[in-house]
Structure 1
């Protein structure tokens, strides 16, 4: 077999980077994945002393059926696993699960909800068990509902999804997250995700993960990021991410941002794909309901994507192809930055972004003990604060973004009734989000009187503080406060800000 060379013209590559691939580009990616699967299967066959049953079945099958089986995402996952672990005595891939076909306005999504493949855990999340009839009906309902929204309001996104998505693997939910999902570079067109709340949650998750799948295919053809590269800040994860991880996040959230941008311009959607009522009541100065959430998510993620793109372009880790790709992405999202969003919604979205950055710093950056001790000595001797280091400490495992403040902000944007929460920290969060910074700061300081290592209180205080040091390097103020427990927090923050 002569290896094929897959190429994309510059304008097609730029459109791909902007998240607007055409049918021909997606066709090229699919053919490249089919070629990859064939090469993997050839290597497995070469490693076996005799013809295995799965190989005989493929060669005896109708060409169209054989192509379908070989191109299946789980075949790629299976083949890569076999090559890593050994091919003796292996049975071949047998796609299983429940085939669903959803059609709206002449556009059909054909997808398999796979609750049977023994290797589906290789997508990176713990799979759910065999679906009950009620559970399968919920997936069908959400797909029907979500597909109508996509086709009627986001036709281009629906066409991309129909061209790429082939398999959904239901997984066990994470109690600390509103929903979890994942893809694998070895399974183009497969998405693992927990059961969605509704059609909108489903399609947002599928758009996000399909972008990852597309980018995995692109990265197998073109090196986008050079070797090495230190992990750093990612607006969508609580753990540090390498440059390729940040690029993946930016590309996935570009699609999410585009979805919410359109929803906001169209006034939000209900389950049928129809616009939200124009006369719906508003609450707390923000647009409420579906359109309010759309504006919040759009404002929140456009800033995150633009910031991540800028850091990648300035970071020196992108290849020439990666720079072209990310430049197209940055230009796409850059056009959205000045689009108007209701002021109160924009304020809450900005707080959500700041909240994540502050919590990320407090979680992942630490001041070495010697530097913290020197801060305490300088404070006690009334000297100018010394320069100290913030050192990245990488905790093991995947950490998804999870903040009660963001959930509360989304409730305020939606206009949901918000009961006065119990507990000082929760009350402080609500006061801060409602713009009462003084009340919030007092409550956060009281929390810190009991525990100067309370990351939630520190990030909350930083959100409402006028002191630049708390806003820019909260981990340094926390380190100083813990090393000098006799010092008042505001006085330390003012001293460090000077």
Structure 2
């Protein structure tokens, strides 16, 4: 098989980085993926474990039909919806044995009622997308082909995933409603587009360190952070045009997260020249949205949610070494300024979705419900200064006005544990005065 080169112009590549790929660009990505699939299929047919040595030309051998017929199944659930001249047709795949390879646990075969729930949500979501988000709907129609229903995660509002090996396929838990389905499919379609892009362009240098991602509780490599920023760019664009406080909260929360992640990638030195161009276009797309007005209370809650995640991530994944802790304690007791220390990454890689106890309280307040009683509820309301007990390090960090608590809570924790008689506030003041 002869593989033709696939190319994009500078203009097309910049539009792709901004999350606005043209139909021609999507066609290039789709053809590249199809070529890759054919090459992989050819290799797989030659290497299948039960293939005899004499099996020299699989596509032309009569036994190929028996092998393929036994290996491939097809779900009968094809969901087709149309609006304003644009049609989306996807297969709701609940039987194919390879569906677990998308990385999440698939559901058993769906009941009729479950299929109808998916169908209803998709039709209503598509009506919104084609009416208010036409370019995004066109991208989705060109990319999305399969949805694999998966078992929900009790700790998350909804889970979804894609695989670099399955362009146009999405694994997703049953949607709460059409709004959640629209946002989830836009998010995962964007992942598929980036996966296909990375097949043609190296965007990140290999072997870099893991670091902070606003969308996950586990440390992520630079390519994972780029994936999150690119996927959430689509979510931000969607929420920007949707009505209601909940949409405004998601817009305000994720616009700053996307911008910060993209800026961090550009400053981190781990992007290739193509990756720099791609991420520069991504950042240029989201930056103007940072100045758009949002209801002050909604913006306050969005800022709280972002601060909460960042503090909890640092406390979860960063540790001050015993040697550096000893240096800090020695300086404290000598009345000297705090020495500079570099916390080490101790969190392990893995799929740890962003969560935490405070986000449900923030959402309750957004919905006009009472978040309840206790320090976390007081913090969310912002009307009183919560009294967090010693040891609730993330809570102490969030209510303190000392920069060290917000920027390096793991360092404050290490020193406060080593010299408890000093008091956490005094330690935070001391560390905040570091030159």
Q: Normalising to structure 1: TM-score of the pair?
A: 0.82
Q: Find the aligned partners of 2:113 and 2:59 in 1 and give their Cα distance.
A: 34
Q: Which residue of 2 aligns with 1:299?
A: 252
SS in 1 for 2:149: strand
Q: 2:55 aligns with which of 45, 50, 54?
A: 50
* Cα distance in 2 for residues equivalent to 1:244 and 1:117: 29
Matched length: 427
Q: 1:166 offset after TM fit, Å?
A: 0.4
Change in CA separation of 1:46 and 1:198 when aligned onto 2, cut-off 3 Å = same
Alignment-derived partner of residue 145 in structure 1:
124
Q: After the TM superposition, which residues 451-462 of structure 1 pair with which residues of structure 2 at under 5 Å, given as runs?
A: 452=391, 457-462=392-397
Post-superposition offset of 1:174: 0.8
Q: Distance in 2 between the 1:55 and 1:160 partners? A: 36
Aligned counterpart, 1:187: 166
Matched residue SS, 1:237: coil
Distance, in Å, in 1 between the alignment partners of 2:274 and 2:251 is: 28
Describe the shift of the 1:388–1:45 C-alpha distance in structure 2 as closer, same or farther (beyond 3 A): closer
Structure 1: how far apart are the matches of 2:7 and 2:73? 32
**For 1:475, which of 393, 399, 410 is the aligned residue?**
410
Structure 2 unmatched ranges of 5 or more: none
How many Å separate the matches in 2 of 1:330 and 1:387? 31
Q: Distance in 2 between matches of 1:341 and 1:102?
A: 33
Distance 1:214 1:137, change over 3 A: same
Aligned partner of 1:26 in structure 2 is 26
Partner residue of 2:370? 418
Change (3 A) 1:55 1:160: farther
Q: 2:139, 2:345 → 1: CA distance? A: 38
Structure 1 residues 376 and 93, CA gap change in structure 2 (3 angstroms): same
Tell me if 1:496 matches 2:431.
Answer: yes
Contact 2:46 2:56 in 1 (8 A): no
Please say if 1:320 is aligned against 2:273. yes
- Answer yes or no: is the 8 Å Cα contact 2:91–2:146 preserved in 1: yes
What is the CA–CA distance in structure 2 between the aligned matches of 1:4 and 1:146, rounded to whole Å?
Answer: 38
CA distance in 2, matches of 1:129, 1:322: 40
Alignment partner of 1:120 out of 81, 99, 114? 99
Structure 2: distance between partners of 1:437 and 1:218: 49
The verdict on how the C-alpha distance between 1:255 and 1:484 changes in structure 2, with shifts beyond 3 A counting, is same
Counterpart in the other structure of 2:3 = 3
1:166 aligns with 2:145: yes
Match in the other structure for 2:377: 430
Task: Specify every segment of 5 or more residues in structure 1 that has no aligned partner in the other structure, as ranges.
Answer: 61-87, 269-290, 422-426
Partner of 1:282: none
Structure 1 residues 479 and 222, CA gap change in structure 2 (3 angstroms): same
TM-score of the pair, normalised by structure 2: 0.93
Pick from 200, 203, 211: which aligns with 2:179? 200
Partners in 2 of 1:151 and 1:321 — Cα distance?
A: 32
Residue of structure 1 equivalent to 2:308: 355
The secondary structure found in structure 2 opposite 1:169 is: strand
Match of 2:296 in 1: 343
Once residues 488 and 40 of structure 1 are traced to their aligned partners in structure 2, the CA distance between those partners, rounded to angstroms, is 61
Name the residue aligned to 1:466: 401
Q: Are positions 1:367 and 2:320 aligned together? A: yes
Within the alignment, does 1:134 sit opposite 2:144 as a pair?
Answer: no
Task: State the distance in 1 between where 2:339 and 2:25 align.
Answer: 55
CA distance in 2, matches of 1:254, 1:94: 35
Native 8 Å contact 2:362 2:371 kept in 1: no
Offset from partner CA, 1:38-78 (integer Å, 9 cap, x none): 11122234445327887769999xxxxxxxxxxxxxxxxxx
Residue 219 of structure 1 corresponds to 198
SS in 1 for 2:358: helix
- State the SS of the aligned residue for 1:337: helix
| Structure 2 residue matching 1:335: 3-state secondary structure | helix
Instruction: Indicate if the aligned counterparts of 2:371 and 2:377 stay in contact, CA closer than 8 A.
Output: no
Aligned partner of 1:81 in structure 2 is none
> What SS does the corresponding residue of 2:241 show, helix, strand or coil?
helix
